[in-house]
Amino acid sequence: MRSEGSGVAVVGLTAFAVDQLGDVTLVAIDCRVGDKISAGRAFGTVESAKTLSDVLTPVSGEVVAVHSELEQSPESVNHDNYGEGWLIKVKVSDPGEVGRLMDADTYAALLETAAH
């Protein structure tokens, strides 16, 4: 997740998640603009040759954009997960939830620790 400003969070998959999934072959987003979503709840699925996985939102709020083109061309998730491979954008309803999330450095350290 990254901030887009004005309390909007861009939600997608991390590079680690994409690596673990392998090539993403299907993205199904099960929410629409205007829907309210809650942190920790599934809002869609991604499928690869290895698995089918739920995608959870890290924050609560209102969906303000859905990257519906991914349903036709999911390869953006594989090649540019932090850019064109975003999934949804959420107007965050509880900014405190953002403060409880790991930043990129903490996440990288966690992955490094888990690898050893």
Residue 73 is given by DSSP the state -
Please compute, for residue 21, the number of CA atoms within 13 A of its CA located in the half-sphere on the CB side: 24
Mean pLDDT, residues 30-52 taken together: 95
Of all residues in the chain, the percent with pLDDT exceeding 70 is 94
Domain ranges of the chain: 2-115
pLDDT of amino acid 116: 65
Q: What is the pTM of this model?
A: 0.87
* Residue showing tokens 């959420």: 90
Neighbouring CB atoms inside 10 A of 12's CB total 23
Report the length, in residues, of the chain. 116
Q: How far apart are CA 85 and CA 70, in angstroms?
A: 8
Residue 102 predicted with pLDDT over 70: no
CATH of domain 2-115: 2.40.50.100
Give the separation between CA 95 and CA 84, rounded to whole angstroms: 25
